[in-house]
Amino acid sequence: MLHSSYMPFIKGGGIFISTEKSFELGDEVFLLLTLLEDPERFAITGKVIWINYRTTPGGRQMGVGIQFAGAEGSNLQKKIDALLAGYTRAEQATNTM
């Protein structure tokens, strides 16, 4: 699930959040994220830079992509990169590209 939601191609990193709530590109958001079994919580501010609508082709989930901001965002990007470093199913479909 982390692989299908992470957006490493976004400057500063980003993550896709499945939601039916309406957002506009550029909306500022606040997220409280936990990764896998790690008890650490990341309080992240970010900006909506991707939207999958209910009608998005390819069977992708409805939701938004959030670009990480600030020092916490940078720390989260490094943590996710480390968690996915040995992931062997890179060809698996994601919720974005």
**What are the residue boundaries of the structural domains of the chain, listed by start?**
2-84
Query: Tokens representing 80?
Result: 């996710």
Q: Is the pLDDT of residue 70 over 70?
A: yes
Band (17; pLDDT cuts 50, 70, 90): very high
What CATH number is given for 2-84 in this structure?
2.40.10.220
Nearest Cα residue to 97 out of 53, 50, 55: 50
**C-alpha distances in angstroms, 74 versus 12, 13, 43, 78, 89?**
6, 7, 12, 6, 24
> From CA 50, how far away is CA 23, in angstroms rounded?
10
Q: What average pLDDT does the segment 56-81 reach?
A: 86
